[in-house]
Every structure is written in C-alpha cells, then in structure tokens.
C-alpha cells in the first residue's frame, strides 16, 4: 500500500507547489475512518481510495482532486458526515465528496430505477465540477481491475453497467485511454470465452506481423524525413472489444478484418498535419471513402485528428491517424486536459471546472437539461445510454449551422436537435433541396430543412424511428401530454354528468380552492385523474360541496330523435346510443356530448370487452381505473357488475371514418360436426366472407359434435350477421351464434 509521503511525491513531480498539508490531512482522515474495513479481496479498504488517488496522479490532477479521491467513500461507507467534511476540508470539497456518494434509502421499484437515479445525481454533480467525473471513472477503473474477488452475479452486473454507462461516458468526455481499459475489463467478464479467443488471435497476429509493422514504421519515418517533417510514428493494435464489436456488427470473420493494426503520426502543428497528409497521399494510393478530417470538424468529445487509409508499400491496407501532440493528449485524457487550475491553497472554486467552450461539456449540459423534463428514472437511463453510444454524422441547417447526430439519425432527430419545438411541429423535410420521407437516414454533409406546422402533434410511432435520446424523450412527453389531455376531457364529461345528476352545475373554477383536499397540483391533474378512474366523481363532489350527500336524481327523459335508442341503466343514468346512423344523425350525436369511439387505434385510450363490439351495436363505456374505457355491447351480461357504480358509466357513440377501414372484435360460438375437414370448412367460410380469425379454442368436445369459441375481426354488425348466416348454411355446422359475455 502506498505510503503517505509517496503520494505527496507523485503529485510533486508535476506540481512542485503542491499543498502537502491538504493531502496529508485527507490521507490520515480517510485511513482512520475506514479503520479495519476490508475489501472482498481481504485487503484493507483504505487501499481502494489510495489506488484511485494514484490513478488520478497519472492524469496529473491537482491536490484537491486527489484529496476528494481519498475521501470519496467516507460519507457512504463510514461514520463520516457531510458536515464533518465541510468543517475539516471546506464546503466546496465536501460538495464534491457528496456528489460521489450513492443515493440511499430510495423507495424505488427496481434496480434499474436505482441505477438511473444514481446516474442522474452523478451527472448533476459533474455539471458543476468535472472532477467528480474524473474521480468516479478512476474509482470504477480500480473496481474493475479488482473485480475477480466479487461474487459471479455481482461481477456480471458491475461489468454490464461499466460497458453500458461508464466506458461510453469516458469516451463521450474524450478520455479514450480510460474508455478502452474499462471496455476491455468489462468484456473479460461479460463474454469470457469470446475475450479469450479474440485476445489469443490478436497475440498470434501481432507475433506474425512484427516484421511488417517495423517495415511500415520505417517507410513512414523515411517519408517524413524526406519532406523535413518532425513526426513520430507509432503502431497501434485494436483492442479486443473493438475487434469483437466490429466482427459482430458487420458479420465479419477474423480473417476479413483489414484494420487490426493502425499507425499514429504525431506532428508539431496543424499545418504539419496537412503537410504529412499530402506527403502520404502523393506517395501511396488512398482507399476511397476512408478519409475523415476531424481537425476541421471535431467530434463532440473534442477529438481532433485526420483519419485516412492507404494501400501501403506491400500492397496492404494501412490505417493512419495524423494529429498534433496537443490533439494526442486530448484524445488520451479528454476533459482532464481542459481542467483549469489556480494556486488556491488546495481550496476548490469555480475555476476548477471544465471550460464551458468544450464540445464535451456542451453535450453534458444538454443531457443535464433533459433531467428537468420530468422523465421517469427508466426513461432517463435509456435516453442517456442512447446519447452515450454515438458514431456521428454531421449535417447542416439551410443557414449553415452544424448539427452532429448519431449514425442512423433521421430528419426527425435533426429537428429535435435544433429545438424541441421544431421537432414537435415537424411535418416534413427537405434533404439537399428535395422533399424526402421523415424516415430517411441522414448522411455526412446533408443539408436538412424542416417543414413545420403548428397543428402538428408528434405521432407516438415516431418513438420507434428516432435514434437520439432527446428526440425519444420529447416524443414520449408529447404523447403523455396528449393522453393526459384526452383523459382530462373525459374527466370533464364525467364530472358534468355527476354534478347534473345531483342537481348542481360543474365548473372548472370551482376546483381551484379544493386542490389541496384532492391532493392534486392543478385543475388538469384533477380532471385527468377522474378520467383515468383514479379519483371518483363523488370525492370531487364532496370536496366542492362538503355538505353533499349522495342522492341519485333521475334525469327527465329527453325528446326522442330519429335513429336513436334511449337506454336507462339500473342507476337511472340516461345514455344515447347510435345505431347505423346517417351522417346527419352522427352530427346530432356529436352535439349531444357522447364520447366518439372509432376503435383501438383511435384517439381515446379505449379497449373492447372480451366479447367485443362492432359498429351497429348499441354500446356503453365503462371507465377502468388507470387504463381508459372498456366498450361493451348494451346486451352484455357483464354490465350488471357495474350497476352500483354509476360514475363509471360513460356515453359513447360510434364515429366511423368511412375513408379508413378498420375491423372490430366479436366473439361467436360454432357447434360443428366432429368429422375430418370440418374446421377447415369453417375457416374457409370465414375467409370467404372477408373476416379475420384472431383466436380459436375448443370449449366442449363430444363424440359427434365440437363446440368452438372463435374471436373474429369484422367490419360491422351487418358483416357479422351475414357471416353467421353463412356458417349456419354450411353442412358441417350444427349451430352458430354470437356470444355476448
């Protein structure tokens, strides 16, 4: 275990004016607090924060960051408190330590939700001071290096979390060296067999190609000497996880990989990068489509380099990266290079944050903004993962604004990347001046113009099309808001009918003063809760009128309208239900206030009872708490179960769009002769009548007959009756009838 003076000496090598007192104080405090605690390996627990601190000294971090590394587990795992750390080390340093402390005592329903909330807390802390991230990644790296001592199930969970969150987070913040080591360690535990195979093959290839690698290095070095360029050439080999991922993604065998080896050219200046590129391309042929200039267009994690592939001296493909020494440092350490230090006597202040100009920090800020959008924990975790895993394409607005998107992005993703309002109102897109489908996959250099309409509401189906977390979260929110609005409208109708039954008049304003009694934050929340069935109309009535006593009032009959039937249930509620009404009659129905029902793909959150309902049936809606409305045919015996719950009964009517054909569910019982081929004949009759069998079950089988229950999808009542008549005429059928519950 590293001694106290050894840690100080490590920092002094790159920061001679180190605040030794701060490091010594943090070292002694953490060692005392962790006391006799042991790790799973049996080592003293204090060895862990000490190793985390050592990793950060390799990154040349300041003494305040090293002190935070020593203290990072004290609040979580010892008797130390935030107040105590504030008193000893100052509130700024205490805030960093708390930012690294996992949330405790959360009432969360799943491990995934707990993981999401801890990530949310971590990102918020990182947004205030990037060194929280550096300590967290160093902490995760040491835990991964010592993962052998954990239980198998815990080992796999930690490895998967590392691969899904922490490795890509390191990559997005530009820390490529950290990312590669985390990925390799996680790969070893997630898929040990593949790891062993790939590692062995890479070692074998490295041994066989040693001579070729030296030859290429010498050829490149000789070329740069000829052009008087001060350049360092170094070979590099792809990491096992990178090789395996490419084989999986592109279905390649090991022998088909052409870029296992690459070469990095490091020069003094940006001008030298392009001079080196010119020397290479004028000497060897470039492979078309394999050139990328990340110097003129940096990646979102601030990575800058020129990538090219050439056909080399021995006619083999050679991947090259050309960059300056500063670019190389940023590619290795990312945001750690941008940390701004001042001599503050070991105190932490605002200067110890990442530069606000970096792309990596801008991405982090955008991610943090999404935290305030109200996503639930699982949605936030999913969307953050989507943002982390990105291989980019660069597109432009008509005004030349650069938009970086992940590969596979569509104009919808582009619209949401510009602004959430642009995405929500998007109805079309022009790509390079041509109107293209919104599902079009964008390519590097595309100019995208979004066509908008204020009347647009983003369809829920877009969620399965987009690839960015921001777009997915925005679409999901818009869908939730639309559903909430529908439930709110339904709640208004329920309350209006309930108040009318009691001889009172309902108004939204009457709810303002009773929100606290109903435990709701606003009027819309009350209305949508009633619509969902989470809050009863009686409870609302009692909140508005504390002296209210539930007495049902039978409404006087309304004038009969042609084409309509009036149905009164046991609770005395009147329902107007259309049959096969004319267009004029349907308009009258709309004006009557009944809720329009089109089908399961309509606008309202509706579903049909097991026995189904079809246009032409007289129907009733029953509010199901939390799941919308269930539609029953008026003759269904199941409705008797709701006779004593009048507040759940809803006026509903068919509102069929003749231009959009849709089938509806119905259930029939067929008694057929028990003979070979009879089922096939029944199925043929159903098919010939343009109906669709959804499910079929045998409910009773006798020596001579078999009774079948068949769930069908038909156009309307006339279609269903015609089908039943056709079945009855078939020689294999003894009886056919509709089942109504």
Closest by Cα among 540, 527, 544, 457 to 488:
527
Give the Cα separation of 661 and 14 in Å (integer).
74
Q: Which among 532, 485, 527, 482 has a CA at the least distance from the CA of 508?
A: 527
Per the annotation, the verdict on 76 as an active-site residue is yes
- Give me the DSSP letters along 324-337: EHHHHHHHHHTHHH
Which member of 9, 20, 43, 76 is catalytic? 76
Beta-carbon-side half-sphere exposure of residue 382 (alpha carbons within 13 Å): 11
**Contact partners, residue 531, CB within 8 Å, separation at least 6:** 486, 487, 488, 489, 490, 491, 494, 623
Gyration radius (Cα) of the chain, Å? 34
Cα gap 708→702, rounded to integer Å? 12
From first CA to last CA, the distance across the chain in angstroms is 75
Residue 412 backbone class (left: φ over 0; alpha: ψ -120 to 50; beta: rest): alpha
The most distant pair of C-alpha atoms in the chain lies apart, rounded to whole Å, by 103
- Is residue 332 among the annotated active site residues? no
Q: What angle do CA 16, 19, 21 make, to 5 degrees?
A: 135
Distance between CA 673 and CA 733 in Å, rounded? 6
Q: Residue length, the chain?
A: 741
How far is residue 582 from each of residues 564, 578, 579, 587, measured CA to CA in Å? 11, 9, 9, 9
Q: String of b and e for 399-438 (b: at least 16 CB within 10 Å)?
A: eeeebbbbeebbbbbbbbbeebeebbbbeebebeeeebeb
Question: What's the per-residue H, E or C state across 383-427?
Answer: HHHHHHCCCEEEEECCCCCEEEEECCCCHHHHHHHHCHHHHHCEE
- Rounded Cα gap, residues 291 and 307, in angstroms: 6
Closest CA to 566 of 583, 554, 553, 584: 554
Are 98 and 129 spatial neighbours (Cβ–Cβ below 8 Å)? no
Distance CA 341, CA 361 (A): 17
The CA distances from residue 321 to 97, 237, 294, 552, in Å, are 38, 13, 10, 81
- Among residues 131, 167, 162, 161, the alpha carbon closest in space to that of 53 is found at 131
| DSSP H helical ranges for 284-391 | 325-333, 335-338, 359-371, 377-388
3-class SS at 363? Answer: helix
From the list 9, 20, 43, 77, the catalytic residue is 77
- The residues annotated as belonging to the active site are 76-77
């Amino acid at each position: 275990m590293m001694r106290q003076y050894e840690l100080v000496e490590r920092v002094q090598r790159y920061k001679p004016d180190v605040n030794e007192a701060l490091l010594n104080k943090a070292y002694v405090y953490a060692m005392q607090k962790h006391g006799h605690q042991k790790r799973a390996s049996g080592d003293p627990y204090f060895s862990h924060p000490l190793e985390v601190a050592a990793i950060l000294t390799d990154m040349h971090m300041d003494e305040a960051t090293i002190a935070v590394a020593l203290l990072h587990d004290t609040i979580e795992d010892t008797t130390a408190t935030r107040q105590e750390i504030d008193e000893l080390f100052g509130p700024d340093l205490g805030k960093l330590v708390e930012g690294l402390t996992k949330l405790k005592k959360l009432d969360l329903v799943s491990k995934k939700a707990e993981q999401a909330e801890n990530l949310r807390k971590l990102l918020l802390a990182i947004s205030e001071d990037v060194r929280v991230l550096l300590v967290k990644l160093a902490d995760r790296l040491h835990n991964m290096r010592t993962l052998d001592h954990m239980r198998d199930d815990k080992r796999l969970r930690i490895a998967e979390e590392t691969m899904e969150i922490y490795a890509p987070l390191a990559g997005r913040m530009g820390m490529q060296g950290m990312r590669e080591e985390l990925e390799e360690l996680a790969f070893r535990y997630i898929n040990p067999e593949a790891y062993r195979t790939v590692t062995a093959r890479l070692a074998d290839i490295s041994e066989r190609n040693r001579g070729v690698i030296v030859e290429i290095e010498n050829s490149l070095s000789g070329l740069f000497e000829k052009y008087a360029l001060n350049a360092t050439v170094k070979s590099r080999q792809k990491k096992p996880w990178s090789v395996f991922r490419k084989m999986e993604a592109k279905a390649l065998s090991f022998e088909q990989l052409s870029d296992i080896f690459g070469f990095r050219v490091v020069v003094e200046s940006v001008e030298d990068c392009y001079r080196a590129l010119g020397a290479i391309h004028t000497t060897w042929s470039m492979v078309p489509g394999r050139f990328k200039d990340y110097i003129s267009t940096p990646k979102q994690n601030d990575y800058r380099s020129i990538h090219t592939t050439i056909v080399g001296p021995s006619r083999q493909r050679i991947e090259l990266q050309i960059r300056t020494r500063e670019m190389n440092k940023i590619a290795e350490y990312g945001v750690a290079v941008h940390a701004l230090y001042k001599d503050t006597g070991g105190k932490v202040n605002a200067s110890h944050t990442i530069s606000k100009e970096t792309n990596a920090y801008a991405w982090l800020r955008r991610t943090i903004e999404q935290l305030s959008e109200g996503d639930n924990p699982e949605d936030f975790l999913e969307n953050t993962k989507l943002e982390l895993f990105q291989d980019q394409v660069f597109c432009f607005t008509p005004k030349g604004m650069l938009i970086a998107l992940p590969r596979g992005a569509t104009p919808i993703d582009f619209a949401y990347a510009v602004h959430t309002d642009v995405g929500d109102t998007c109805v079309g897109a022009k790509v390079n001046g041509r109107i293209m489908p919104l599902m079009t996959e964008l390519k590097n250099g595309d100019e995208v113009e979004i066509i908008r309409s204020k009347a647009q509401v983003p369809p829920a189906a877009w969620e399965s099309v987009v690839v960015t977390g921001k777009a997915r979260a925005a679409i999901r929110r818009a869908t939730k808001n639309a559903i909430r609005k529908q439930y709110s409208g339904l709640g208004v109708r329920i309350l209006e009918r309930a108040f009318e039954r009691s001889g009172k008049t309902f108004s939204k304003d009457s709810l303002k003063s009773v929100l606290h009694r109903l435990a709701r934050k606003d009027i819309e929340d009350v209305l949508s809760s009633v619509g969902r069935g989470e809050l009863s109309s009686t409870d609302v009535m009692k909140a508005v009128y504390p002296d209210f006593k539930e007495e049902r009032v039978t409404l006087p009959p309304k004038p009969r309208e042609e084409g309509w039937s009036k149905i009164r249930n046991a609770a005395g509620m009147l329902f107007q239900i259309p049959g096969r009404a004319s267009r004029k009659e349907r308009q009258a129905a709309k004006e009557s206030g009944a809720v329009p029902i089109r089908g399961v793909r309509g606008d309202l959150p509706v579903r049909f009872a097991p026995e189904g309902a079809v246009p032409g049936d007289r129907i009733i809606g029953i509010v199901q708490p939390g799941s919308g409305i269930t539609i029953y045919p008026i003759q269904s015996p199941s409705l008797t179960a709701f006779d004593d719950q009048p507040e759940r009964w809803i006026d509903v009517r068919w509102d069929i769009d003749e231009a959009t054909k849709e089938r509806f569910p119905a259930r029939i019982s067929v008694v057929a002769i028990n003979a070979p081929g009879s089922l096939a004949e029944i199925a043929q009759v159903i098919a010939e009548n343009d109906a669709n069998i959804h499910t079929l079950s045998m409910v009773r089988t006798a020596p001579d007959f078999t009774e079948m229950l068949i769930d069908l999808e038909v156009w309307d009542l006339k279609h269903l009756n015609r089908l039943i008549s056709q079945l009855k005429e078939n020689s294999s059928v003894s009886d056919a009838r509709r089942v109504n519950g």
